[in-house]
Amino acid sequence: MIPVREKSLPELKKLAEEIRTKILETVSRNGGHLSSTLGAVDLIIGMHAVFDVKKDPFIFDVSHQAYAHKLLTDRWERFDTLRQFGGISGYTNSKESPYDYYKAGHSSTSISLAVGAAKAIHLKGEDRIPVVMIGDGSMSAGMVYEALNELGERKYPVVIILNDNEMSIAKPIGAISRTLSKGMAGPFYQKLKKKTESLLEHLPEGATYIAKKFEESLRLITPGILFEEMGIEYIGPIDGHDLESIIETLKIAKAMSKPVIVHAQTVKGKGYKIAEGPLEHWHGVGPFDVETGKPLKKSSSTKSATQIFSETMQEMAAVDEKIVGVTAAMPGGTGLSPLLERYPDRFWDVAIAEQHAVTSMGPLAKEGFKPFVAIYSTFLQRGYDQVIHDIALMDLGVTFAIDRAGIVGEDGETHQGAFDISYLRPIPNMTLLAPWNEESMKKALRFAAAYPRPLALRYPRGAFLAEGLTEVGEVPDYELGRAHLLLEGEEILFVGYGNGVGRALKTAELMDGWKPGILDLRFVKPLDEALILDLAKRYRRWFVFSDGARLGGVASAIEELFAREGIMNVEMASFEYDDTFIPHGKTVEVERSLGLLPEQLARRIARIMDDAS
Residue 174: its pLDDT value, please? 42
Residue 178: its pLDDT value, please? 45
Cα–Cα distances (Å) from 251 to 201, 265, 276, in that order, read 28, 18, 29
**Which residue among the candidates 382, 442, 503, 522 is catalytic per the annotation?**
382
State whether the Cα torsion 279-285-290-291 is positive or negative. negative
Q: Per residue in 303-314, pLDDT tens?
A: 999 999 999 999
Q: Give catalytic status of residue 506 as yes or no.
A: no
Q: Quote the Cα angle for 201-206-207, to 5°.
A: 60
| Single-letter code of the amino acid located at 336 | L
The residue length of the chain stands at 613
Residue 200: its pLDDT value, please? 58
Instruction: Kindly tell me the burial class for residue 474, based on how many C-beta atoms sit within 10 Å of its own C-beta (0-12, 13-18, 19 or more).
Output: exposed
Q: Give catalytic status of residue 354 as yes or no.
A: yes
Architecture category of domain 305-458 in CATH:
3-Layer(aba) Sandwich (3.40)
- Give the contacts of 281 (CB within 8 A, at least 6 positions apart): none
Closest CA to 264 of 226, 224, 229: 224
Closest CA to 601 of 521, 517, 505, 532: 505
Instruction: Please state which of the four CATH numbers 3.30.70.1290, 3.40.50.150, 2.40.50.140, 3.40.50.920 is assigned to the domain occupying 484-612.
Output: 3.40.50.920
Residue 412: its pLDDT value, please? 92
- Identify the DSSP state of 577: B
DSSP string, 283-296: TEE-SB-TTT--BS
pLDDT along the chain (613 residues), means of 10: 93 97 96 94 98 97 96 96 96 95 94 97 97 92 93 97 68 39 51 58 58 53 75 91 96 96 93 86 89 82 94 98 96 96 96 95 97 98 98 98 96 96 98 97 98 98 87 88 96 97 96 94 98 97 98 98 96 97 96 97 93 77
Give strand pairing partners of 458. Answer: 402
Predicted TM-score (pTM) of this structure: 0.89
- Give the contacts of 408 (CB within 8 A, at least 6 positions apart): 378, 415, 416, 417, 461, 587
- Identify the DSSP state of 391: I
- Give the contacts of 96 (CB within 8 A, at least 6 positions apart): 75, 88, 89
Residue 471: its pLDDT value, please? 65
Torsion of CA 242, 245, 53, 153, to 10 degrees: -120
**Which residue among the candidates 75, 83, 268, 442 is catalytic per the annotation?**
268
- CATH code for the domain defined by 9-184+225-275: 3.40.50.970
Laid out side by side, the sheet with 484-487 consists of: 484-487, 517-520, 491-497, 539-546, 571-574
Q: Do domains 305-458 and 484-612 have the same CATH topology?
A: yes
User: Cis ω on the peptide bond leading into residue 157 (within 30° of 0)?
Assistant: no
**Which residue among the candidates 354, 413, 576, 591 is catalytic per the annotation?**
354
Residue 213: its pLDDT value, please? 55
Q: Give catalytic status of residue 603 as yes or no.
A: no
Residue 173: its pLDDT value, please? 33
Residue ranges per structural domain of the chain: 9-184+225-275, 186-221, 305-458, 484-612
Q: Per residue in 125-146, pLDDT tens?
A: 999 999 999 998 898 888 999 9
Q: Give the C-alpha separation, 48 to 213, whole Å.
A: 39
Q: Tell me phi and psi for residue 585, to 5 degrees.
A: 145, 170
Half-sphere exposure of 34 (CA within 13 A, CB side): 31
Count of other CB atoms within 10 angstroms of residue 283? 19
